Amino acid sequence: MEHTIQLMENHLNIDLGNPPFMNLDNGLQIPYSSITGITTGSPIPNAFKIHGFSFLGKRNGLFRFDGDYHLYFFNNKVDTLHFDLNQFVVGKFIISKLIIEVKNPEEKSKTISERLT
């Protein structure tokens, strides 16, 4: 599944398709002010699955790591974009990390980072 990111004036629109196990039909709208860091290809935390899918390196859903909630949407951990988030709420959860698979993660990271400064 290809995830698309649109850079808007004050936020990112991230289209996640229709992920199984989660009602995110409208994707995510993340304010730039909620993004505290962005990296690529970082190690994936060994998180505990709360709600979603985790099998053979593929992850899709809500996970818990070190007391924080994370959202993961990837089949290939090499092509991932990692967002560190501050006070970003999805449903009743405060999400501290979002990891999604995208094409050209380094290029997207650079483009988004320019908006953060």
Which of the pair, 98 or 48, is modelled with greater confidence? 98
H or E stretch covering 106? helix 105-116
pLDDT tens-digit map of 85-109: 998 998 899 999 999 999 999 999 9
71 contacts 21 by C-beta, under 8 angstroms: no
List Cβ neighbours of 107 (8 Å cut-off, separation of 6 or more). Answer: none
Distances (CA, A) of 48 to 5, 9, 53, 62: 26, 34, 11, 9
Q: What six digits make up the tokens of 6?
A: 């649109």
Mean pLDDT confidence for 18-30: 72
CA distance 97 to 56: 21
